[in-house]
Amino acid sequence: MSSSSSGAVRGESAPASSASTTRQAKRNEVLIGLVNWMKKNKRELPMRAEDVTPWGTLVGEVMSQQTPMPRVQPIWSRWMQLWPTPAALAAAPASRVLVEWGRLGYPSRALRLRECAIVISERPGGQVPADFESLCSLPGIGPYTASALMSFQFHERRAVLDTNIRRVIARIFSGIERPASSSPTRVERELADSLLPSSGAECATWNLALMEFGAISCTSKNPACDTCPLVAECAWFVAGRPMVEVKRKSQAWAGTDRQARGRVVQLLRDLHVSGDSSASSASSDSPVASGDSSATGNVPSPIDEAAPTVSYSAALEVATLPGSDLDQAPRVIEGLLADGLLVRVGEDRLALPR
């Protein structure tokens, strides 16, 4: 029986077909190979330790989305020292949360985690829920993060489909270099469900082993096939490693709004860390740079006056990238205000949210 996006996969009860039996036998060989590989190659990541709480796993999974583990590890450890429970993070100022997010990227994730913590702490018991639907109802938590929590923490029999796992399954069992779709398809989910071991604990081992193997050995570029213990089982390797003809375009960074947004948020983070109270610019007399609400349509927000601030013109200067169009910097700042990553202080200054 395959799972839906909201249901766990139950143990098999109907007689297995010949194809299913063959697939299960192959899965068993792959699992044995992965377990042996993990004994020698598993990374000792603090967020994967046995004593990590469901809250710690939730934070780690959100942080590691589109972010390499080496960058996540020190930030996660710092967060667990500061905010080991949802209630602790819920009580933290949003500005501190953004500062402690560091350079992980996509800082809106930090604010969503804080919103998630607030919702959890307001519920009876104040604990991370142990069912898929309740997890998905939390701010910033989607099916992938909920599936990871249900598998790794609560040992529910559920497939976890991150980029690494999808790639390994596609190569070993489907004989293709990588999935064609950027998000899991119904066919992918059904295949992943059919490969799950019979117990929830084994499923957690299976999911984690696939994830680690994809991150370290069966990588997107230059997979280590010459030292791979699974080449005999890998349909992609046996087929001669056929490459996908249409290559995905990598996300640009230089010159994008993302880069400009990051520069503005980092400016205010640096002021918080250094203890400086403000930054200004000589061009602060322009209508848009001054933060004139009639020019921008935004209403100033109250904030602790002791918090570090920058003038609108200073933010514009930082958001202006070489060769960018004239509209980019104002658009970036207004986007940060709309996303809650900046707030107005008076008529002409900006700050991180409280």
Task: State the sign of the Cα–Cα–Cα–Cα dihedral 115, 84, 147, 165.
Answer: positive
Q: Is 61 a catalytic residue?
A: yes
CA distance 13 to 21: 13
Kindly name the residue from 50, 61, 122, 177 that is annotated as catalytic: 61
SS3 call for 185: coil
The sheet carrying 343-345 orders its strands as 278-279, 309-311, 349-351, 343-345
Phi, psi (degrees; rounded to nearest 5) at 222: 55, 55
The answer to whether 309 and 353 are in contact (CB under 8 A) is no
236: amino acid identity, one letter: W
**β-sheet bridge partners, residue 310:** 279, 350
CA distance 54 to 132: 13
The answer to whether 218 and 167 are in contact (CB under 8 A) is yes
How far, in Å, are 14, 54, 119, 135, 346 from residue 131 at the CA level?
26, 12, 15, 6, 44
Identify the helix (H) or strand (E) that includes residue 192.
helix 186-194
Task: Spell out a b/e string for 328-351, using b for 16 or more CB atoms within 10 Å of the CB, else e.
Answer: bbbbbbeebbeeebbbbbeebbbb
Cα first-last separation, the chain: 48
The answer to whether 135 and 141 are in contact (CB under 8 A) is yes
How far, in Å, are 64, 136, 325 from residue 111 at the CA level?
15, 17, 29
CA distance 291 to 301: 12
Contacts of 104 (CB under 8 A, 6+ apart): 63, 67, 71, 72, 75, 110
Catalytic residues: 61
